[in-house]
Amino acid sequence: MSRSRARVGVSADAFVSVVRAYADRVHDDVRRLGCSPDAAAEVVEASALGLCERLRVAPHEVRDLVGAWFRDARTYAERIAPGDPPADLDEGRGIVRRSEDDAAAREALAQLGERDRVALLLRDAYDLPYLSTGVALGTDDTVTACVVARARLRFLSLVANDAPAEPAGHDERLATTSRLADGQLPPDDVAAAERHAARCATCGPLLPALVEARRLLAGLGILAMADADRDGLISRAGVVAHRVLPSAEEVEAAKNGAPPRFPVPLPLVAASLGGALVLGSVMGLATSGNGVSFSRARPPLRTEDPTPASTSLTPTPSGTATPTPTPSRTASPTPSRTATPTPSATASPTPTSTFVPVPGNERIALSRASGPNGTPVRVTGSGWPPGRTVQLTYSGPLGQTGQQASAFTDPDGTFRATIVCYDRQNIPGPHTIRAVTGSFSASATFTAT
């Protein structure tokens, strides 16, 4: 993925902020679909990084970032979830109990239709705006507000004996009353909506009922991610986002009509730095007049040269440069100075902390070796060149290409990514997950059941 190809839409910082704020709620949502803790963590990460890729390629297609993430996560989870929430969802494992009515609310939610249940979870339990809830449901804001209002009334009828009946029609006013009940109306519209509710025989009794339903739903506990999974997700999402999405300054400049000014692409920086190092080495060789050898095994960009910038010190016959040149030309040789094993500013080459890969040693490992079509799988790599983009591809037994993903290698030559093992032809049997960057490649087998 090249950051220079990103179109201005959502900044990297904004994307990471959304990941940090909503990771636990997305996790809770997919756990309710029946995903295990490990599968849920993989779904959350796969959907987040997949959304980042869509923002890079076509940001105009993402109407709302939060709603799109919930929608994508549910799509991934529905492919692999058994359909029933796991038992530990109600055993307090990582869950925060915030209401004495939690059990009754959960029981009532389970009796609602899927659309009503999703609408109430997103809007009231997770407190998503109507826009985000609508994107996740595939509807506009007005329809979403009406869906939420009717779902609240059906929910309340299951937990209270005196709930008002659901009205027939009256959708537009019902949507406005729903927004009034949870404080989502623009300030200029609040007074008019309150006057209508006071006079309308239909909306009047509904307003307090909608407020009560939201209160009960807002008290639902959230099943949080494990700290290690959440921290790892935020870290990896930050690395990917800051490489492929524009900065906040670029987004602001685009809003003000200025053309986006992307930084110099990383490959060009690498080429420039590499050229500068080669030029500096040639200049040093020409001026020193001594036979200086260069190691071809050390890439100029990814391995830091331990030699400081001032390389004009005169080397001694032993290869150790004296810290300061001798001011007198007639000074007699002093063998004791050259024999003293005192480290100098340009000491003999020592091992650096940068990992140098050996071709053929690159490996990948999968978090699981089999699963149904659409299973998200974590891919862990080792022995890869540092600072490189690794392309991941999922291929079927007939050679058909399925999902793809990207990862960035760390300084120690490792990477971690999540790919969705989804084959449109849904052919069971062995499939191949292949990782490639330059001349380095590795593959592993995933069996679709």
What residue segments make up the domains of the chain, in order of their start?
7-253, 363-448
What is the pLDDT confidence band of residue 354, given thresholds at 50, 70 and 90? low
Residue type for 73, please?
A: A
- Average pLDDT in the chain: 77
Total residue count of the chain as it appears in this document? 449
CA atoms of 73 and 67, how far apart (whole Å): 10
Task: Write down the pLDDT at residue 84.
Answer: 60
Query: How much is the average pLDDT of 332-339?
Result: 45
- Does pLDDT of 325 surpass 80? no
Query: How much is the average pLDDT of 10-14?
Result: 91
Identify which has the larger pLDDT, 15 or 169.
Answer: 15
Residue type for 382, please?
A: S
Query: How much is the average pLDDT of 7-35?
Result: 90
pTM of the model: 0.67
Residue type for 292, please?
A: V
What is the pLDDT confidence band of residue 134, given thresholds at 50, 70 and 90? very high
Query: How much is the average pLDDT of 380-388?
Result: 91
Task: Write down the pLDDT at residue 353.
Answer: 54
Task: Write down the pLDDT at residue 74.
Answer: 93
Question: 363-366 and 389-395 as β-strands: parallel, antiparallel, unpaired?
Answer: unpaired
Task: Write down the pLDDT at residue 157.
Answer: 92
> What is the assigned CATH class of domain 363-448?
mainly beta
Query: How much is the average pLDDT of 69-96?
Result: 70
Task: Write down the pLDDT at residue 166.
Answer: 86
Task: Write down the pLDDT at residue 315.
Answer: 41
Question: 415-421 and 375-382 as β-strands: parallel, antiparallel, unpaired?
Answer: antiparallel
pLDDT digits (tens, 9 = 90+) for 250-279: 888 877 766 544 444 444 434 444 444 443
Identify which has the larger pLDDT, 260 or 165.
Answer: 165
CA atoms of 179 and 261, how far apart (whole Å): 40
- Does pLDDT of 29 surpass 80? yes
* Greatest mean pLDDT among 17-26, 74-83, 170-179, 180-189: 17-26
Query: How much is the average pLDDT of 12-23?
Result: 94
Query: How much is the average pLDDT of 437-447?
Result: 92
Task: Write down the pLDDT at residue 359.
Answer: 82
Task: Write down the pLDDT at residue 172.
Answer: 82
In Å, how far from its chain's centre is CA 405?
12
